Structure 1
Amino acid sequence: MHDQVYSAERLNESLQSPVLALIEPLTLTRTSILSILRQELASIEIVDMATTRSLDDVSARDVRLVALSIGDKTIDDPAVEDDLALVAEYCPNASIALISNRDDEATALAAMQRGVRGFFPTSLPIEVAVAGLRLVLAGGVYRPLPIIELSKTPGFEQPYPRALASAYSANGDRNVPDRNTSDFTPREQQVLTELELGLPNKLIAAKLNLSENTVKMHIQHIMRKCAARNRTEAVLRWSGRLSGNGRDNGTNGASIPEA
């Protein structure tokens, strides 16, 4: 009797644990990714499957993220649209990350416009991909390319790339708070944008094609220009959420990883 109760408790705990669902039709590729993710993301249960149809088996679970491989297909491919619809049906509360053999701007932008929160070209280094998945699991949005070429957007005179699709409305209208960027170089503005997303130095370096030492140098310059003691304070001052006397507007608990 005791063993039955214990087994029931273990089953209930398993059903309540957060889940990442990996969908990849190629067995060798799927098992390779699965092996890496289980080592790197030990705090979440990872289940693998060949097709989105198998999501029905975990629809009652707490699926936090569905990582869907689409291979060479475009976002408007009927098969991809069907897969996205099934993910929405079986796991309505899950974020979606797409793994794609394509790394062009059109594919990435089309994915973000459909509510995808992570776009991962297969050309990414594995450590960058894992860091990006952690970001999406934490509620962020990841993609390695600028979401829009803002230099061609009316009202922008300096490069100001944004990684978050949510910074724009569906029709591309600007929805970003005004910042005083005149004191920062274009590269420092890019680093600030990534810092605001909470990205570590390694991921910032990979996204901007810089060395980690160069990223650290830019952060030091940013902190000095913001009269900030750390990177979190620099972002808060830049975004206008922290006044000059060091008191913020309810964001004392926020922190940005150092590396």
Structure 2
Amino acid sequence: MTSTTILVADDHPLFRNAVVHALREALPEACVVEAASATGLNQALEARPDTDLILLDLTMPGAHGFSALLHVRGEHPEVPVVVISSNEHPRVIRRAQQFGAAGFIPKSSPAESIGEAVAAVLEGGAWFPPLTVERSEADATLAAKLAQLTPQQFRVLLCLADGLLNKQIAHELALAENTVKVHVTAILKKLECHSRTQAAVLVKSLEPEGTL
């Protein structure tokens, strides 16, 4: 386990510290990296391409519900992601699974569950609470559409969801405005959306039920 690198992405310092402590108890030789936002998560992954596992909260700054999970799965499909959330709604758990998570740990779970989940996923398995909600074909279709986007197009899509204009997106992502226009056109086509507003509504649908 000396080469195991685990990234904990959660914007609540106290809970993040608790997770890190639980990981060090279960895997004392693992390297644990922390991030407190979607941007920090991306930066950490760029700095540590050898990351073996990500523990991800859904409500960090810069994320729209499941968008961080989808973004990571698109850019780093080889890295398994385990969602940690205070929202234990069965549909939230099912959606996390359908959007590519390898596991789901409710924040109300005992610390031992973190070690169990991490061990299971690192061994190539999965770790989810018992599921009572049927698989959603709508979510499967949405995941398939989003999977067509390139990482850069996904970033542009999130900016669209925030209501940014092309000029603002260009500034935010350090792109030429014409490049943004090309991306927006491609995004709308791949998502089968007729307008920027429709695409933004699609992103909003990634927000889980209830509060996380």
TM-score normalised by the chain length of structure 2? 0.54
Instruction: State the 1:85 CA deviation.
Output: 3.6
1:180-232 deviation per Cα after TM superposition (whole angstroms, max 9, x unaligned): xxxxxxxxxxxxxxxxxxxxxxxxxxxxxxxxxxxxxxxxxxxxxxxxxxxxx
Instruction: State the 1:125 CA deviation.
Output: 1.5
Whether 2:11 is the aligned partner of 1:25: answer yes
Change in Cα spacing, 1:105 to 1:85, as seen in structure 2 (3 Å) is: closer
The corresponding residue for 1:141 is 126
The separation in 1 between residues aligned to 2:131 and 2:56, in whole angstroms, is 21
For structure 2, the residue ranges without an aligned partner over 5 or more in a row are 142-212
The separation in 1 between residues aligned to 2:125 and 2:23, in whole angstroms, is 18
Counting only pairs closer than 5 Å after superposition, residues 1-259 of structure 1 correspond to structure 2 as: 17-54=3-40, 55-59=42-46, 60-70=48-58, 79-88=64-73, 90-146=75-131
Instruction: State the 1:98 CA deviation.
Output: 0.5
Deviant stretches of 4+, over 4 Å = none
Change in Cα spacing, 1:142 to 1:101, as seen in structure 2 (3 Å) is: same
Contact 1:56 1:90 in 2 (8 A): no
Larger Rg: 1
CA RMSD of aligned residues (A): 2.8
For structure 1, the residue ranges without an aligned partner over 5 or more in a row are 1-13, 73-77, 150-164, 172-259
The separation in 2 between residues aligned to 1:33 and 1:65, in whole angstroms, is 13
Contact 2:58 2:68 in 1 (8 A): no
The separation in 1 between residues aligned to 2:71 and 2:43, in whole angstroms, is 9
Instruction: State the 1:44 CA deviation.
Output: 2.4
Q: Percent identity?
A: 24
Tell me which of the two structures has the higher relative contact order, counting C-alpha pairs closer than 8 angstroms and 6 or more residues apart.
2
Contact 2:105 2:113 in 1 (8 A): no
Instruction: State the 1:104 CA deviation.
Output: 1.9
Any idea what SS the aligned residue of 2:66 has? helix
Contact 1:26 1:50 in 2 (8 A): yes
Q: How many residues align?
A: 133
The separation in 2 between residues aligned to 1:142 and 1:45, in whole angstroms, is 21
